[in-house]
């Protein structure tokens, strides 16, 4: 764990990175640290760096409008 300030940003509830499992400050469902740019992200639905739509998983890619996106406020997939 570090003393670095965690800046959480809303994201898909299925987006994950390894710090979410080792640092309680990162373990917030539907939010990722917007300052992280060196940690590989993966989709919890596929357990891969690609989402179910075969597009990259990451904070910039996993956003409203994507067919598989689910927000913490409304966990249903985006309308197609």
Q: Using alpha carbons, select from 9, 12, 8, 10 the residue that is nearest to residue 65.
A: 12
- The H or E element containing residue 22 is helix 19-22
Helices and strands, number each (H, E), in the chain = 1, 4
CA distances from 18 to 34, 39, 56, 65, 75 (A): 15, 8, 17, 25, 22
Mean pLDDT, residues 14-19: 87
Q: Give residue-wise pLDDT tens across range 36-77.
A: 777 899 999 999 999 999 999 998 899 999 999 998 876 565
The whole-model pTM stands at 0.76
| Range list of β-strands (E), 1-80 | 8-10, 15-17, 31-33, 41-43
- How would residue 25 be classed by pLDDT, with cut points 50, 70 and 90? confident
pLDDT over 60 (residue 26): yes
pLDDT for residue 76 = 60
DSSP state of 56: B
Identify the pLDDT of residue 57.
95
């Amino acid at each position: 764990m570090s003393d670095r300030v965690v800046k959480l940003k809303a994201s898909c509830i299925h987006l994950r990175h390894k710090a979410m499992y080792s640092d309680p400050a990162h373990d917030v469902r539907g939010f990722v640290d917007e300052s992280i740019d060196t940690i590989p992200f993966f989709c919890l639905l596929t357990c891969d760096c690609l989402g179910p739509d075969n597009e990259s998983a990451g904070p910039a890619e996993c956003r409203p409008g994507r067919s598989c996106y689910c927000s913490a406020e409304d966990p249903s997939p985006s309308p197609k």
